Amino acid sequence: MKGTVRYLAGIAGPSGFGSKSTAQQVTQHCLPPPPPSSSSPTPLTAIITGATSGIGEETATVLAKRGVRVVIAARDVNKASRLKQSILHQSPDAQIVVLELDLSSFASIASFSRQFLSLGLPLHILINNAGIYSRGLEFSEDKIEMTFATNYLAAAIMGHVRMLRPSWPPFCMPRSSPDSSRQGMQK
């Protein structure tokens, strides 16, 4: 009950943030500002699914603003390209890559993985944000119930994309890592 009231009122919790905190406020002290030029240190790279609307769009926009290279993985590449333009309008130095990905299709996930790996980019952050709620009984092209295929199986498979290149740094740096404060990552 108390928690609900705090939530509705937007009162900050132990993290210092509440339900009225914005993504910009939450990331304010976490990541470095956008690099001023291409000679700046290599940025973090994030893949985000479902960035073409809602929470994903906001997350992609704010990460780009904080200097993260954002890979927008979207089934609708036209929508994703429009988002890219909108982000570049706000953050002209942002590095945005658009790749096609339909999470309800194993073939599409495999194709996305191949394309991403061919870019030779590291992967520091994977945000499995995309999700659906299928009201009727629908099946994916792989004959798996659609919500399960999209929200769960796809997210699990996406987690393996980074494993294809074992030399990549881990998602979460230990607190003691000299880089952890700079990259804003904690275990």
Nearer to ligand NAP, 95 or 104 (CB): 104
Nearer to ligand NAP, 82 or 182 (CB): 82
Please select the residue that binds ligand NAP; options are 45, 61, 91, 104, rule is CB under 6 A. 104
- Core vs surface per residue 83-99: b (16+ CB within 10 A) or e: bbeebeeebebbbbbbb
Give the number of other Cβ atoms within 10 Å of residue 145's Cβ. Answer: 14
Torsion of CA 74, 142, 162, 31, to 10 degrees: 30
103 part of the interface to ligand NAP, by CB under 6 A: yes
What are the φ/ψ torsions at residue 45 (nearest 5 degrees)? -115, 130
Show Cβ contacts of residue 160 under 8 Å, excluding neighbours closer than 6 positions. none
53 part of the interface to ligand NAP, by CB under 6 A: yes
Shortest distance, CB of residue 74 to ligand NAP, whole angstroms?
A: 6
How far apart (Å, rounded) are the C-alpha atoms in residues 21 and 8? Answer: 12
Q: Which stretch binds ligand NAP (CB under 6 A): 37-45, 71-79, 112-120, 161-169?
A: 71-79
129 part of the interface to ligand NAP, by CB under 6 A: yes
Nearer to ligand NAP, 61 or 150 (CB): 150
Tokens of 83: 């988002």
23 part of the interface to ligand NAP, by CB under 6 A: no
Binding site for ligand NAP (CB under 6 A): 49-50, 52-56, 75-76, 79, 101-104, 129-132, 150
